[in-house]
Structure 1
């Protein structure tokens, strides 16, 4: 079969590899769709730890082609999504309900072969069945939505709260709708690109501000006391600093964007101290993948508006290696 293999930083190509053989507890899934994530670009550049060689792709959905002898509950032909993050299940963090912090965590598409391929191997315990009629492109959103749901859980948005989202990529735009579903009374998104600001407003944001034109001052004019909750979704030092500046006294900041490993950001501890901010981070998708699948199956999110275009398997390496095009939201490989 064909697969997109990362051999070393900036060495990514389509190769012929053996089709995986499912063990007794595995599903062999024929990939129908797999989304390109910002983390894939970080892994390509060597900014995020990953095994090598490895087949990238952790946001996928597809059809069960084979099931291991010990697998129950999945028929051949069932459409599934796979939770890529596999924890040990018995360490202190796993037993405390925090499998995302498991020291033995491994991830499909990061440490083991993923969904940018014709087939992917998924442990049955990581698979979630999807409705037969669900668009497989929507199924590929289960992983990013599940991560966003964890960030929403961490933020603990009170009914009517003001929420600021810094970053207008697919994660920031998903956050607009999820914050509204969580009860936010005002949602403000900040991004440099006008097309993304327009889409944020279409998705329900009350305001969309230009991140290239003093967003801190603009947000302060909209929210003089500051925001109750701020989500940093861009993963750059500038927005990390802005997240502290636009939060109200006693507010909450959730760091969610992936800053490259090893990069440092200068913060002012005095501002954190005197504002008495709750500074949180949200990592991966602990126990939220099934919730995400249910939300997507219910049609609660406007996913079609987030898909910029679909691409073929052989287009994936160039798409990951290249910078996102202006106005681009989400590229999804369609099998």
Structure 2
């Protein structure tokens, strides 16, 4: 039998056991080593994001391939050979390949109209049940992309590739189609402001600094997150406990940027008022990336004239496209000596403690927490 933490309703977690499934010829069964608690998981737990109950949450996973059907691919998406016993990362969302978006924009897997996502859209009431990372095993369909773990990378650090991929998507969007030499978009020597220092925010800061940002600033108010962010390339955090109003924070950003504002602002707090504030923090001709709102938490009044007058380019993003997980793994591998990735994981829980783990994440009592698998 396989143990799993099942979300059966709003804030209703039950530890259940499922039969270990037989593996179809083109599928695989993987043992869960580590599953990160994504920032979206507490929202799902509280009912802010509708999901099909009952469901096993968890999609930021590090897995060990335990049983591979005879027709399951023997290579990851980059062509690296994989075999039973190998550690892999999973792209949790997979697309249908048939809808209008898949046909016209095949590079944007995340926008598929009929796609599925482990830990978010797949019920566990139907066999083979194991479609989320808060479990001892996960069942892998051939449509889901996997990436082989580089040698020397731990399971916990590999699980950070998923949130990093989200941040990389934000930086990618800030780069294109702007011309960095013409001060359009992100590029070497540009300034970046990150609103919200959760795991994605901290990892985005590291990616921006690794990619050549001249300065990375952030806004947050949680001391543990602020302290951690300095290890990942943040030059200054504007603590909203000290700078209490939008006007005070704007004045500080203007002082740091000689009155210009930041070249790129990335909203990762998921608070409507923060997006409103971001418009004024972005320099004229700059880019504002909206990446934090995975749940509908309301609206905010916006003055369109300010956007036009300042010629701010606003880009909305949802999760990440499948190739970006590979980019994230590569970036971690290249910068492991520069950034202490393992330090981000401050809390570890067993499957039996999933309810407590979700409550702690909801209350922001951790930087990054993980569920330990089998």
Q: Normalising TM by the smaller chain, what interval?
A: over 0.9
Judged with a 3 Å threshold, the aligned counterparts in structure 2 of structure 1 residues 103 and 230 are, in CA distance, closer, same or farther, namely same
> Does the CA contact (< 8 Å) of 1:29 and 1:120 recur in 2?
yes
Residue 93 of structure 1, CA deviation: 2.2
**Residue in structure 1 matched with residue 195 of structure 2 by the alignment:** 166
Partner of 2:139: helix, strand, or coil? strand
Judged with a 3 Å threshold, the aligned counterparts in structure 2 of structure 1 residues 102 and 319 are, in CA distance, closer, same or farther, namely same
> Does the CA contact (< 8 Å) of 2:271 and 2:297 recur in 1?
no
**Residue in structure 2 matched with residue 62 of structure 1 by the alignment:** 63
> Does the CA contact (< 8 Å) of 2:275 and 2:290 recur in 1?
yes
> Does the CA contact (< 8 Å) of 1:236 and 1:259 recur in 2?
no
| 2:141 equivalent to 1:123 | yes
Residue 279 of structure 1, CA deviation: 0.4
> Does the CA contact (< 8 Å) of 1:14 and 1:317 recur in 2?
no
The alignment's C-alpha RMSD in Å is 1.8
Which structure 2 residue ranges, 5 or more long, are not aligned?
Answer: 75-81, 123-130, 176-185
**Residue in structure 1 matched with residue 278 of structure 2 by the alignment:** 243
Structure 1: how far apart are the matches of 2:26 and 2:151? Answer: 22
Judged with a 3 Å threshold, the aligned counterparts in structure 2 of structure 1 residues 264 and 66 are, in CA distance, closer, same or farther, namely same
Residue deviations 1:259-291 (CA, integer Å, cap 9, x gap): 522622222222112111100012111121122
| 2:216 equivalent to 1:187 | yes
Which structure 1 residue ranges, 5 or more long, are not aligned?
Answer: none
- Structural mapping, 1:55-134, within 5 Å: 55-73=56-74, 74-95=82-103, 96=105, 97-112=107-122, 113-124=131-142, 125-131=144-150, 133-134=152-153
Farther off after superposition, 190-199 or 25-34:
190-199
| 2:343 equivalent to 1:305 | yes
| 2:371 equivalent to 1:333 | yes
> Does the CA contact (< 8 Å) of 2:40 and 2:294 recur in 1?
no
What TM-score does the superposition give when structure 1 sets the normalisation length?
0.94
Judged with a 3 Å threshold, the aligned counterparts in structure 2 of structure 1 residues 22 and 144 are, in CA distance, closer, same or farther, namely farther
Partner of 1:6: helix, strand, or coil? strand
Residue deviations 1:36-79 (CA, integer Å, cap 9, x gap): 01100111111113221110000001211111221131311011
Give the paired residue count.
Answer: 335
Residue deviations 1:184-206 (CA, integer Å, cap 9, x gap): 11110110122322222222211
Structure 1: how far apart are the matches of 2:237 and 2:101? Answer: 38
Residue deviations 1:219-259 (CA, integer Å, cap 9, x gap): 22212111110000110122111211200111100011125
> Does the CA contact (< 8 Å) of 2:294 and 2:318 recur in 1?
no
Partner of 1:288: helix, strand, or coil? helix
Residue 132 of structure 1, CA deviation: 5.0
Farther off after superposition, 128-137 or 179-188:
128-137
Residue 299 of structure 1, CA deviation: 4.3
**Residue in structure 1 matched with residue 327 of structure 2 by the alignment:** 291
